[in-house]
Structure 1
Amino acid sequence: MVDTILVTGAIGTVGSEVVRQLSKVTKGIVRAAIYSPNKIDTLKQIVNQSIEFVNLDYLG
Protein backbone atom coordinates (compact mmCIF):
# COMPACT_ATOMS: atom_id res chain seq x y z
CA MET A 1 0.00 0.00 0.00
CA VAL A 2 1.30 3.42 -0.95
CA ASP A 3 0.66 6.34 1.39
CA THR A 4 -0.72 9.59 0.00
CA ILE A 5 0.13 12.88 1.69
CA LEU A 6 -1.82 16.07 0.97
CA VAL A 7 -0.05 19.33 1.76
CA THR A 8 -2.34 22.35 1.87
CA GLY A 9 -0.86 25.78 1.37
CA ALA A 10 1.85 24.28 -0.83
CA ILE A 11 2.66 27.61 -2.49
CA GLY A 12 3.47 29.37 0.79
CA THR A 13 6.85 29.54 2.48
CA VAL A 14 6.29 26.71 4.95
CA GLY A 15 4.11 24.59 2.69
CA SER A 16 6.54 24.67 -0.22
CA GLU A 17 9.38 23.59 2.07
CA VAL A 18 7.24 20.74 3.43
CA VAL A 19 6.52 19.60 -0.14
CA ARG A 20 10.19 19.85 -1.06
CA GLN A 21 11.33 17.79 1.92
CA LEU A 22 8.60 15.18 1.51
CA SER A 23 9.44 14.77 -2.18
CA LYS A 24 12.97 13.81 -1.14
CA VAL A 25 12.21 11.30 1.61
CA THR A 26 8.84 9.64 1.02
CA LYS A 27 8.10 6.75 -1.25
CA GLY A 28 4.43 7.65 -1.19
CA ILE A 29 2.45 10.11 -3.25
CA VAL A 30 2.75 13.77 -2.32
CA ARG A 31 -0.14 15.97 -3.44
CA ALA A 32 0.40 19.70 -3.31
CA ALA A 33 -2.85 21.63 -2.88
CA ILE A 34 -2.73 25.04 -4.51
CA TYR A 35 -5.32 27.77 -4.87
CA SER A 36 -3.85 29.52 -7.88
CA PRO A 37 -2.99 27.36 -10.91
CA ASN A 38 -0.73 30.08 -12.34
CA LYS A 39 1.66 29.54 -9.41
CA ILE A 40 2.33 25.87 -10.17
CA ASP A 41 5.46 26.77 -12.12
CA THR A 42 6.93 28.38 -9.01
CA LEU A 43 6.55 25.16 -7.05
CA LYS A 44 7.73 22.95 -9.91
CA GLN A 45 11.08 24.74 -9.83
CA ILE A 46 11.87 23.54 -6.30
CA VAL A 47 10.50 19.97 -6.26
CA ASN A 48 11.06 16.80 -8.22
CA GLN A 49 8.62 15.39 -10.74
CA SER A 50 6.89 13.00 -8.34
CA ILE A 51 4.55 15.68 -6.97
CA GLU A 52 0.88 15.74 -7.95
CA PHE A 53 -0.79 19.14 -8.01
CA VAL A 54 -4.38 19.60 -6.87
CA ASN A 55 -6.34 22.81 -7.41
CA LEU A 56 -8.11 23.45 -4.11
CA ASP A 57 -10.42 26.42 -3.69
CA TYR A 58 -10.39 27.12 0.05
CA LEU A 59 -13.13 29.75 -0.13
CA GLY A 60 -15.56 28.25 -2.60
Structure 2
Amino acid sequence: MPVAPKAASKATAAANRAALKTLAFDDVRDFADVQRGLIAPLPTAASSAPRRVNWSGT
Protein backbone atom coordinates (compact mmCIF):
# COMPACT_ATOMS: atom_id res chain seq x y z
CA MET A 1 0.00 0.00 0.00
CA PRO A 2 1.33 3.46 -0.82
CA VAL A 3 2.12 5.73 2.08
CA ALA A 4 1.16 9.38 1.80
CA PRO A 5 3.97 11.83 2.56
CA LYS A 6 3.81 13.81 5.78
CA ALA A 7 4.57 17.48 6.20
CA ALA A 8 8.06 18.27 7.46
CA SER A 9 8.46 18.92 11.16
CA LYS A 10 9.15 22.51 12.23
CA ALA A 11 12.78 21.61 12.91
CA THR A 12 13.23 20.01 9.49
CA ALA A 13 11.55 22.93 7.73
CA ALA A 14 13.80 25.39 9.59
CA ALA A 15 16.93 23.38 8.74
CA ASN A 16 15.89 23.26 5.07
CA ARG A 17 15.34 27.03 4.99
CA ALA A 18 18.76 27.60 6.57
CA ALA A 19 20.45 25.28 4.07
CA LEU A 20 18.71 27.02 1.18
CA LYS A 21 20.31 30.31 2.24
CA THR A 22 23.83 28.81 2.32
CA LEU A 23 23.85 26.88 -0.95
CA ALA A 24 24.56 28.47 -4.32
CA PHE A 25 21.50 27.40 -6.29
CA ASP A 26 22.27 30.05 -8.92
CA ASP A 27 25.39 28.03 -9.87
CA VAL A 28 23.91 25.43 -12.20
CA ARG A 29 27.16 23.76 -13.31
CA ASP A 30 26.50 20.68 -11.16
CA PHE A 31 23.02 20.31 -12.62
CA ALA A 32 24.44 20.58 -16.15
CA ASP A 33 27.10 17.96 -15.34
CA VAL A 34 24.47 15.55 -14.04
CA GLN A 35 22.42 15.98 -17.19
CA ARG A 36 25.50 14.95 -19.18
CA GLY A 37 26.09 12.00 -16.85
CA LEU A 38 29.20 13.37 -15.14
CA ILE A 39 29.09 12.92 -11.39
CA ALA A 40 32.79 13.33 -10.64
CA PRO A 41 36.11 12.37 -12.17
CA LEU A 42 37.68 9.09 -11.08
CA PRO A 43 41.21 10.14 -10.12
CA THR A 44 42.11 6.95 -8.22
CA ALA A 45 40.45 4.45 -10.53
CA ALA A 46 42.50 1.80 -12.28
CA SER A 47 41.35 0.14 -15.46
CA SER A 48 42.27 -3.35 -16.63
CA ALA A 49 40.06 -3.48 -19.70
CA PRO A 50 38.17 -1.00 -21.84
CA ARG A 51 35.06 0.26 -20.06
CA ARG A 52 35.87 -1.68 -16.90
CA VAL A 53 37.04 0.05 -13.75
CA ASN A 54 38.76 -1.76 -10.92
CA TRP A 55 39.14 -0.06 -7.55
CA SER A 56 42.21 -0.60 -5.44
CA GLY A 57 40.52 0.54 -2.24
CA THR A 58 43.47 2.73 -1.27
TM-score (norm 2): 0.20
Bigger Rg, which one: 2
Q: Give the structure with the larger strand fraction.
A: 1
TM-score (norm 1): 0.19
